[in-house]
Amino acid sequence: MRKVSMATRRELVEAVGERYRAADRTSKGKVLDEFVAVTGLHRKHAMRILREKAPSRQTARPERRIYTEAVRTALILLWAASDRLCDKRLRPLIPILIEAMEGHGHLDLDPEIKAKLLQVSAATIDRALKTVRESSPRLRRRGVAGSELRRSVPIRTFSDWGDPAPGHMEADVVSHSGPIAKGSWAWTLTLTDIATGWTECAPLLVREQTLLVAVLSELRKLMPFPLLGFDSDNDSVFINETVRDYCAATGVTFTRCRPYRKNDQAWVEQKNGSVVRRLVGYRRFEGLEAARSLAELYAASRLFVNFFQPSFKLAEKQRDGARVYKRYHAPATPFQRLMDQPRTSEQTRQQLRHIAVGLDPVRLLRDIGTAQQKLVILADAVASATPAGTASPPPLDAFLLSLRTLWKNGEARPTATAKPPQKRGRRRPDPLVQVADQLEPGSRKNPGAPDGSCWKGSRPSNREITPMVSFGRSNVG
């Protein structure tokens, strides 16, 4: 049987005792049986406590009060002088605080009050200061400002998309700081449509929320479909009042991914590498001129990427133990997916057909290369502190002729930088190099060499050294 608590037992005694004492012999037996069954007490002990009247409880015990109101007033002064410390930290500080305040003439205590203050306990301090702490206004600690914003933006994972209509896009920013993240540099805002893979890129001069909203408004004018959803990571450039209020005012569904879960934004993360890094590279770009050159590059590349760059799209994924089987749709360009999408309006299809008829992929590729060359010249000029030159586009016929033999020169993109091969040397220092001169001449001979040549500072292999004693067992006998 489960025992009741002391507080419950006390309440039962108060509730049942009066009825037990006023009942006759037969009724007392019934009340006693019920009380014993509930409390689990012995029957004789239950009879004794039910016969006794509960003493009147006194909340105040003036005859036992040791610390008077004068002690409490002095304690409040010490508590305020300690910058309102808690009772456990205030208790050891009281002797030091009294001595310091009396030394500077801030306190003149009666010897009896001083003696009681020196012997007061932390629990008594807590009880004496309880009413003071409750009456004094305290500022409630508020969380980080971004916490409320994050809670106001719902989370959407990679498995929550289903089959969205064109217009639900993932957003991310790509840094162009180069090898050193110091000072101010340019950024790229990347938007990728979930349904079709349509990608829009635009430069950001600085990483600022008002500028991001302005750039987003300009990108919406270029999109062939209305922006229905805006899904970002937890970066502060996205999670702020400006972007949230903008999405609410324009009717755009604003969501975010889970923190530190990049797979929730797999679509835009893929385009960060296959589009942005492939076009721009990893150099450092800063200043207004770099942002303008990036804008020219993205203006030339957006049509080439969306109309002439097929990509794979995952159809289904199955897991069998540790193996994952993936099946993809046939490769298609974002333009083709948008045309095949049943939710695309006929007006949008006509506009896309009109744009596709007038596109020249060779001209677009030449313009991309020219813009990339401008970026390289600008970045190298800033790195070497030399005036930047100009890059003029080659004639279209000459560029088309060069495409036939350009593959022989290796990488054709000016922004691509060849990484030097990694030289893998010795990772652990040779322990015999520093003591090689101290070894005896005979011990430095290589017993495996027929001419007795020296090691010359290099250690022989483990197979050349025959151990005399192994750990735990001797080789003798």
* Statement to judge: residues 123 and 154 lie in one domain: no
The DSSP line for 185-235 is --EEEEEEETTT--EEEEEESS--HHHHHHHHHHHHHH-SS---EEEE-S-
CATH number, domain containing residue 259: 3.30.420.10
Domain assignment of residue 36, yes or no: yes
* Statement to judge: residues 108 and 25 lie in one domain: no
In angstroms, rounded to a whole number, what is the distance separating the alpha carbons of residues 440 and 452? Answer: 14
Highest mean pLDDT among 37-51, 377-391, 414-428, 440-454: 37-51
State which of 361, 378, 396 marks the end of a domain.
361
Residues 146-192: tens digit of each pLDDT: 577 788 899 998 888 888 999 999 999 999 998 888 888 999 999 99
In angstroms, rounded to a whole number, what is the distance separating the alpha carbons of residues 87 and 129? Answer: 9
* Statement to judge: residues 263 and 117 lie in one domain: no
Burial class (CB within 10 angstroms; exposed 0-12, middle 13-18, buried 19+) of 371: buried
Roughly how many angstroms between the first and final C-alpha of the chain, as a whole number? 73
Residues 281-332: tens digit of each pLDDT: 999 999 899 999 999 999 989 999 999 999 888 888 899 999 999 999 989 9
Strand partners, 230: 169, 254
* Statement to judge: residues 94 and 162 lie in one domain: no
CB atoms within 10 A of CB 74: 21
Q: What residue type is 156 in one-letter code?
A: R
* Statement to judge: residues 20 and 162 lie in one domain: no
Domain assignment of residue 213, yes or no: yes
State which of 337, 361, 385 marks the end of a domain.
361
* Statement to judge: residues 267 and 127 lie in one domain: no
* Statement to judge: residues 11 and 87 lie in one domain: no
Q: How far is CA 343 from CA 158, 162, 168, 282, 311, in A?
A: 22, 15, 13, 38, 21
Of the pLDDT bands very low, low, confident and very high (cuts 50, 70, 90), residue 7 is confident
Domain assignment of residue 403, yes or no: no
Average pLDDT for the chain: 82
Domain assignment of residue 477, yes or no: no
Contacts of residue 225, defined as CB under 8 A and 6 or more positions apart, other chains included, come to: 166, 167, 193, 198, 338, 344, 348
- Look at the chain and report how many structural domains it folds into: 3
Largest CA distance in the chain: 121
* Statement to judge: residues 47 and 71 lie in one domain: no
* Interval 340-368 mean pLDDT: 91
Domain assignment of residue 196, yes or no: yes
* Statement to judge: residues 74 and 199 lie in one domain: no
Comparing 22-26, 222-226, 229-233, the range with the smallest average pLDDT is: 22-26
Domain assignment of residue 181, yes or no: yes
* Statement to judge: residues 202 and 331 lie in one domain: yes
State which of 299, 328, 361 marks the end of a domain.
361
Structure confidence at residue 386 (pLDDT):
66
Residue 159 C-alpha from the chain's centroid: 20
* Statement to judge: residues 80 and 155 lie in one domain: no
For residue 386, give both structure tokens.
């030399």
Specify the pTM: 0.59
Q: Are 116 and 67 in contact (CB under 8 A)?
A: yes
Of the pLDDT bands very low, low, confident and very high (cuts 50, 70, 90), residue 8 is confident
Domain assignment of residue 13, yes or no: yes
In angstroms, rounded to a whole number, what is the distance separating the alpha carbons of residues 387 and 378? Answer: 9
In angstroms, rounded to a whole number, what is the distance separating the alpha carbons of residues 251 and 257? Answer: 20
* Statement to judge: residues 76 and 174 lie in one domain: no
Residue with the larger pLDDT of the pair 392 and 133: 133
Is the pLDDT assigned to residue 453 strictly greater than 50? no
Is the pLDDT assigned to residue 460 strictly greater than 60? no
Residue with the larger pLDDT of the pair 77 and 472: 77
Domain assignment of residue 388, yes or no: no
Structure confidence at residue 468 (pLDDT):
42
Q: Residue 128 sits in which domain range?
A: 66-135
- The 8-class DSSP code of residue 272 comes to I
Residues 49-96: tens digit of each pLDDT: 888 875 555 555 555 567 888 888 889 888 888 888 888 888 898 988
Task: Return the H-helix or E-strand segment holding 173.
Answer: strand 168-175
